[in-house]
Structure 1
Amino acid sequence: MAYVYLVLAVIAETIGTSALQASQQFTRPLPSVLVVIGYGLAFWFLAHVLRTIPVGVAYAIWSGLGILFIAVIGWLVFRQPLDLPAVIGMALILSGIVVIQVFSGTAAH
């Protein structure tokens, strides 16, 4: 169940961060409310994850996936360019998450 909560935390954080961009520095009410709700839910789910998964591993996965999702949303929705070094860097982040999940005994702790 911890990984379900972790995925939900990443999704909530992604929604909150996307809404932060859309809020235009908190000048638009609906996206501003989504920021608060998104981050609130993200931290609530992350708190539940920490019952089972060590904080370093949980945060690495949460932040890494959040970076990837936000970069894709920024590219698709907000038309923010991604150059080759950015894509390579994000591939390395994804590789790090895979290494943690496949090879680390800490992740399964």
Structure 2
Amino acid sequence: MKNWIFLSIAIVGEVIATTALKSTHGFTKLIPSIVVLLGYAISFYFLSLSLKSIPVGIAYAVWAGLGVVLVTFIAWLIYGQKMDVWSFVGVGLIIAGVAILNLLSKVSVH
């Protein structure tokens, strides 16, 4: 269970870093740049810890998939990014894919 907590922390770190990336203005703003670097460092560190028991393909799919979904919705809320019906369909498919991997897949660590 703790490895899933590690993966959750990795996802939050990645989402914070990616969301702050726009605010760096090409890494010319110090504070947002530090947030990005720390967020990605935390993300990769906790992702690596989660891989002790979660298969890399599953961990990466969950990390990337949920990261994309969360960043998409944060960009919609904070940056006013427009979403059409196909955006929501795509996000729904990502969520469905992550759910299928976690609920139905028999992949395990060898």
Distance 2:11 2:56 in 1: 15
1:108 Cα deviation after fit: 8.2
1:101 Cα deviation after fit: 1.2
Q: Which structure 2 residue ranges, 5 or more long, are not aligned?
A: none
Moved over 3 A (4+): none
Query: Partner of 2:38 in structure 1?
Result: 37
Task: Look up the SS of the partner of 2:79 in the other structure.
Answer: coil
Q: Which structure 1 residue ranges, 5 or more long, are not aligned?
A: none
TM-score, normalising length: structure 1: 0.95
1:28-65 deviation line (CA, Å, top 9, x unaligned): 11100000000000000000011111111100000000
Query: Partner of 1:6 in structure 2?
Result: 7
1:7-44 deviation line (CA, Å, top 9, x unaligned): 10000000000110111111211100000000000000
Q: How many residues align?
A: 109
1:1-109 correspondence to structure 2 within 5 Å: 1-106=2-107
Amino acid of the residue matched to residue 54 of structure 1?
Answer: P
TM-score, normalising length: structure 2: 0.94
Name the % identity.
37
After superposition, the CA RMSD in angstroms is: 1.3
